[in-house]
């Protein structure tokens, strides 16, 4: 497919996690059940969300800025959640 040279495509992974100190009932429940199920030695379980999409922007910095804004306004609730953004050229 033809695309103008000025626009680059990025594959984006946003991992949404609960902020440190916010209770993670899903994580603790999974962790608590592990010994019953015979999985020992696993700790530090946390549960979050992974959101994937592609983003068009002039360069990586612009793409990152756009995705950060998206995370702040929509994909996370800043009261309880953090986002980690991973970008790579599509």
Partner 1 sequence: MKGMAEPLHRALGLTDDEAGDIERILGREPNHLELAMFSVMWSEHCSYKSSRRHLKRLPTEGDAVLVGPGEGAGVLDVGDGIAAAIRIESHNHPSAIEPYQGAATGAGGILRDIFSVGARPIALMDPLRVGPLDEPRNRWLLDGIVSGVSGYGNSVGVPTIGGELVFDETYAENPLVNVLCLGLLPTDRLVLARASGEGNLAVLLGSSTGRDGIGGASMASEGFGDGEEHAKRPAVQVGDPFEEKRLIEACLMLLDAGLAVGVQDLGAAGITGATSETAGKGGVGMDVDVSAVPRRAPGMDPWEVMISESQERMLAIVTPADLDQVLAVCARWEVEGTVIGRVTGTGRLRVVDGFGGEVLADMPASALSDDAPDYDRPLRAPAPRPAADPPAIADAGETLLGSLLDTSWVSSQYDSQLFLNTVEGPGGDAAVLRLKHPTTGVDTGRGLAVTTDGNHRWCAVAPRRGTAMVVAESVLNLACVGARPLALVNCLNFGNPEHPEVMWQLSESIDGMADACRAFGIPVVGGNVSLYNESRGKDIDPTPVVGLLGVVDRLDRRPPGVGLVDQGRLLLLGERSSHVGGARVWKDAPELPPFDPAAVTAVADVVRGLVADGLLAGAHDIADGGLAGSFGELVARSGLGLEVGLTDTGELFSEAAGRVVVCVAPEHVEEVVRRAGEVPIVDIGGVGGDRLVVAGMVDLSVPAVVSAFRDTLPAAMSAGATH
Partner 2 sequence: MTARVGVILFPGSNCEQDAVEAIRALGGDAEVLWHGDATVGDVDAVVVPGGFAHGDYLRPGAIARFSPVMGAVADFAGSGGPVVGICNGFQVLTEAGLLPGALQKNRGLKFLCTTVDLRVETSRSVLTSGAEVGAVLRVPINHFEGNYTCSSETLAQLRGDDRIVLRYVENPNGSIDDIAGICNEGRNVVGLMPHPERACDVLLGSEDGKPLLRSLLTAAANAKV
Q: Which residue lies nearer to partner 1 by CB, 31 or 82? A: 31
Cα separation, 54 vs 88, whole angstroms: 10
Candidate segments 1-9, 22-30, 35-43, 59-67, binder of partner 2 by CB under 8 A: 22-30
CA distance 80 to 22: 7
| 84 contact choice in partner 2, partner 1, none (CB below 5 to 8 Å, kind-dependent) | none
Q: Which is nearer to partner 2, 11 or 29 (CB)?
A: 29
42 binds, among partner 1, partner 2, none (CB under 5 to 8 A by kind): none
Alpha-carbon torsion, ordered 10, 13, 19, 25, to 10 deg = 160
3-state secondary structure at position 83: strand
Binding site for partner 1 (CB under 8 A): 33, 36-37
């Amino acid at each position: 497919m033809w695309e103008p040279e000025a626009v680059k495509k990025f594959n984006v992974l946003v991992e949404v996690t609960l902020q440190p100190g916010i209770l993670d009932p899903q994580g603790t429940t999974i962790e608590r059940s592990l010994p019953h199920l015979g999985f020992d030695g696993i700790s530090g379980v946390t549960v979050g969300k992974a959101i994937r999409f592609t983003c068009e922007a002039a360069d990586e910095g612009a793409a990152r800025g756009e995705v950060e804004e998206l995370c702040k306004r929509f994909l996370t609730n800043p009261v309880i959640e953090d986002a980690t953004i991973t970008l790579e050229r599509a």
